[in-house]
């Protein structure tokens, strides 16, 4: 990592994303936004006449899908710059103006769901069978599943219009943590290194234990210093979920949030049952990690410490080669799509810069190529993250080419989305493991280190966070929103249970609730574990050469949101409402732990 982060303006253009693929100029964007506003107003005149017959309804849904797709493309252009530089006040203001306009469009279009569901049940059932509406059947089926929870057009108008206000809590959290809080810098042998959302991961993985500790403490203390404000913002987000649950008639905020992701409560139950039952696998991992690092006691700042081998340097071109080559079992079209995004069309915003938001993401809209953001630092974890996000991008591109706009990626359950992102990571990991380099024990240890960074996040941190979410939302629904101190203490306890005896968790561990913006999408976190479990199983089938495994994987990817998640997974042979997929994932983790234990024995780290 550089001693100081580049200013956004100093990042080489070829390492930034090409927003001009969406709109050539800001004037074109402005014109497109004005045109959409006019067309939304025109479409709103259809209120009360959306479905005079099946042909009219099909035409109405075509037009509705087109409006939503255009709004999504505008959203990308308006909001992505603020993610690349939270310190850019102009970009934040532009994103805010767009969200205000989009809230108005959402309010104007909110009548659609309510009006369709107001139709007699016999009429709605007939629509589901009418060949004229076949292309919109997936949308109508999703709508039917929500029938009991859609309210009158007037109430839907109010709920849609309130979204901009509610979304301000997440925006405020991002501005505070990613723009206003000064996390300072840490002393390193090469000089001062800034602690920031875009740099903290590399600092926590530094070989120097003093650097790791200082970075961990500054990162945690920065959040602890504004914990009361962050707790108020998080409680407000939880109250929003509870409010929507009451308005829509769900039994709980949890049920309401899960319905948003098209996930049944039993999927969460099964995930947490398997996770808590298999925690001894993690306890075993932390024990062997301590031995490999050669420390008397493992500390929270050692979680990402590199093993005592030379780190694997992965310049971005090498990572691109791995990602593209590892997709070969998926066929020429998948390979060509990844090549296009990584080499030709600048889908990816690659490097760290001052003000860049924490973490990585892939965002997409119908009719546009996907956009990926990360902070690449020429190491194996960065390569893995790039593979993960390009798995999302491949999924989005293939789905967009084959599905109607109303069945696009914004309608996906994250359980499904995280299957194909983790799948691409697993494909790359397997490709590297089969290379001649992997015969070197030191290289294999580096690969295992990368694998556990991914597994730690999705099969350790995320299920632990959702345990906190369950507790916090229950408190909010009982009229007792938790304080910052209570959130921190409760999460500290959950982490201590997950770490076992090898790591002592304290408030700097427990403040993790404030460090993850994921919590502003309630009950989103555990879905990573569901997707990862299916991904590991299916990629194992692909790598074993099982007939039809790659084709089934691609077919599921191409379905977009046109099938309910449980049905989509069932087509691949997995029942995610049982602990079986998670148990299979933990079996893989246990196998990796055994490999680490063999390395520890080889190195004499008993």
- Domain coordinates in residue numbering, the chain: 8-171
User: pTM value?
Assistant: 0.83
- Give the burial string for 108-139 (b: 16+ CB within 10 Å, else e): bbbbbbbbbbeeeeeebeebeebeebebbbbb
Q: What is the DSSP string of 180-195?
A: I----EEEETTEEEE-
Give the pLDDT confidence score for residue 164 in this predicted structure: 66
pLDDT digits (tens, 9 = 90+) for 536-584: 999 999 999 999 999 999 999 999 999 989 999 999 999 999 999 999 9
Whether residue 313 is predicted with pLDDT greater than 80 in this model: the reply is yes
**CA atoms 260, 262, 266, 272: torsion sign:** negative
| Mean of pLDDT over the chain | 93
Tokens 């805010």 belong to 96
User: Predicted confidence band at 197 (pLDDT cuts at 50, 70, 90)?
Assistant: confident
CA–CA gap between residue 594 and residue 578 (Å, rounded): 26
pLDDT given at position 520 = 92
Which span out of 127-136, 141-150, 352-361 was modeled with the highest average pLDDT?
127-136
Handedness of CA 290, 294, 295, 297 (dihedral sign): positive
What is the distance between the alpha carbons of residues 491 and 212, in angstroms, rounded to a whole number?
Answer: 22
Encode pLDDT of 384-421 as tens digits: 999 999 999 999 999 999 999 998 766 788 899 999 99
CA angle 165, 162, 160 (to 5 degrees): 135
For residues 110 and 157, the answer to whether their CB atoms sit within 8 Å is yes
Percent of the chain at pLDDT > 90 equals: 81
DSSP 458: I
Residue with tokens 């889908």: 347
Contacts 24+ apart (CB under 8 A), 361-364: 361/83, 361/389, 362/389, 362/390, 362/392, 362/393, 362/396, 362/421, 363/76, 363/80, 364/76, 364/392, 364/393, 364/396, 364/397, 364/400, 364/408, 364/409
Sequence-separated (6 or more) residues with CB below 8 Å from residue 293: 302, 305, 307, 308
Mean pLDDT of the region 517-536: 93
- Convert the pLDDT of each residue in 27-85 to its tens digit: 999 999 999 999 999 999 999 999 999 999 999 999 999 999 999 999 999 999 999 99
Q: What is the pLDDT of residues 332-390, one digit of tens each?
A: 999 999 999 999 999 999 999 999 987 899 999 999 999 999 999 998 989 999 999 99
Please give the helix or strand (H or E) that residue 582 lies within, else none: helix 580-602
SS3 of 18, please?
Answer: coil
Task: Read off the pLDDT of residues 427-476 as tens digits, 9 standing for 90 and up.
Answer: 999 999 998 888 888 888 988 998 998 899 999 999 999 999 999 999 99
CA distances for 210 relative to 47, 196, 311, 466, angstroms: 64, 17, 18, 31
Question: SS3 helix, strand, coil % of the chain, rounded to 5?
Answer: 70, 5, 25
Q: Identify the CA nearest to 167 among candidates 246, 75, 255, 248.
A: 75
Residues 6 or more apart whose CB falls under 8 angstroms from that of 280 comprise: 500
Least confident piece of the model among 151-160, 266-275, 450-459, 520-529? 151-160
Three-class DSSP category at 550: helix
Confidence (pLDDT) at 409: 65
**CB contact at 8 A, 231 and 469:** no
14: which residues sit within 8 A by CB, 6+ positions away? 346
The CA distances from residue 256 to 160, 243, 246, 413, 472, in Å, are 16, 10, 9, 14, 15
Dihedral pair phi/psi, residue 348, rounded to 5°: -115, 135
Task: State how far Cα 272 lies from the chain centre.
Answer: 19
Per-residue pLDDT, 275: 97
Using DSSP, state whether 372 is helix, strand or coil.
strand
When pLDDT is averaged across residues 109-136 and rounded to a whole number, the result is 93
Report the residue count for the chain. Answer: 606
Q: CATH code for 8-171?
A: 1.20.140.70
Please state, in angstroms and as integers, the Cα–Cα distance from residue 112 to each residue in 37, 102, 140, 146, 229, following that order.
17, 16, 11, 13, 37
Closest CA to 353 of 372, 385, 375, 333: 375
pLDDT of residue 75: 97
């Amino acid at each position: 990592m550089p001693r100081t982060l580049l200013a956004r303006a100093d990042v080489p253009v070829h390492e930034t994303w090409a927003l001009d693929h969406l709109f050539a100029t800001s004037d074109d964007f402005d014109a497109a936004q004005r045109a959409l506003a006019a067309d939304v107003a025109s479409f709103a005149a259809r209120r009360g006449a959306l479905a005079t017959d099946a042909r009219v309804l099909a035409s109405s849904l075509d037009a509705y899908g087109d409006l939503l797709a255009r709004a999504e493309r505008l959203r990308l252009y308006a909001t992505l710059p603020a993610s690349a530089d939270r310190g850019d006040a102009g970009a934040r203001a532009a994103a805010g103006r767009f969200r205000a306009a989009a809230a108005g469009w959402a309010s104007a279009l909110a009548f659609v769901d309510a009006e369709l569901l107001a139709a007699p049940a016999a009429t709605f059932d007939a629509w589901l069978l009418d060949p004229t509406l076949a292309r919109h059947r997936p949308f109508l089926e999703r709508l039917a599943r929500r029938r009991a929870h859609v309210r009158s057009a007037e109430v839907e108008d109010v709920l849609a219009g309130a979204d901009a206000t509610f979304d301000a809590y997440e925006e405020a959290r991002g501005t505070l943590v990613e723009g206003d809080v000064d996390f300072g810098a840490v002393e390193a042998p090469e000089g001062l290194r800034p602690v920031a959302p875009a740099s903290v991961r590399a600092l926590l993985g530094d070989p120097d234990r003093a650097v790791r500790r200082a970075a961990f403490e500054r990162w945690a203390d920065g959040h602890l210093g504004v914990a009361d404000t962050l707790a108020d913002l998080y409680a407000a987000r939880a109250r929003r979920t509870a409010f929507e649950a009451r308005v829509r008639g769900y039994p709980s905020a949890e049920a309401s949030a899960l319905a948003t992701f098209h996930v049944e409560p039993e999927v969460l139950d099964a995930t947490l049952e398997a996770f808590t039952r298999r925690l001894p696998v993690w306890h075993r991992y932390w024990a062997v990690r301590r031995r490999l690092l050669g420390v008397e006691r493992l500390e929270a700042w050692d979680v990402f410490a590199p093993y005592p081998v030379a780190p694997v340097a992965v310049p971005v071109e090498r990572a691109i080669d791995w990602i593209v080559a590892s997709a070969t079992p998926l066929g020429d079209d998948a390979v060509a799509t990844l090549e296009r995004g990584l080499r030709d069309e600048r889908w990816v915003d690659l490097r760290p810069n001052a003000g860049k938001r924490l973490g990585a993401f892939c965002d997409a809209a119908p009719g546009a190529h996907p956009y990926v953001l990360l902070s690449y630092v020429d190491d194996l974890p960065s390569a893995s993250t790039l593979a993960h996000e390009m798995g999302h991008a491949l999924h989005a591109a293939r789905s967009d080419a084959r599905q109607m706009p109303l069945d696009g990626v914004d309608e996906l359950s994250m359980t499904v989305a995280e299957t194909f992102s983790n799948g691409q990571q697993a494909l790359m990991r397997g490709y590297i493991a089969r290379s001649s380099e992997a015969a070197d024990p030191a290289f294999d240890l580096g690969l295992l280190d990368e694998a556990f960074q991914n597994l730690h996040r999705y099969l350790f941190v995320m299920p632990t966070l959702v345990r906190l979410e369950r507790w916090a939302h229950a408190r909010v629904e009982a009229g007792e929103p938790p304080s910052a101190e209570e959130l921190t203490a409760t999460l500290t306890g959950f982490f201590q249970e997950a770490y076992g005896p090898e790591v002592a968790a304290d408030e700097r561990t427990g403040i993790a609730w404030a460090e993850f913006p994921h919590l502003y999408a309630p009950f989103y976190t555990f879905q990573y574990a569901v997707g990862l479990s299916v991904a590991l199983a299916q990629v194992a089938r692909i790598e074993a050469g099982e007939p039809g495994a790659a084709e089934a994987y691609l077919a599921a990817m191409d379905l977009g949101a046109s099938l309910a998640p449980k049905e989509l997974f069932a087509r691949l042979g997995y029942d995610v409402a049982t602990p079986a997929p998670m148990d299979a994932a933990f079996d893989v983790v246990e196998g990796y732990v055994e490999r680490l234990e063999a390395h520890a024995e080889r190195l004499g780290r008993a």
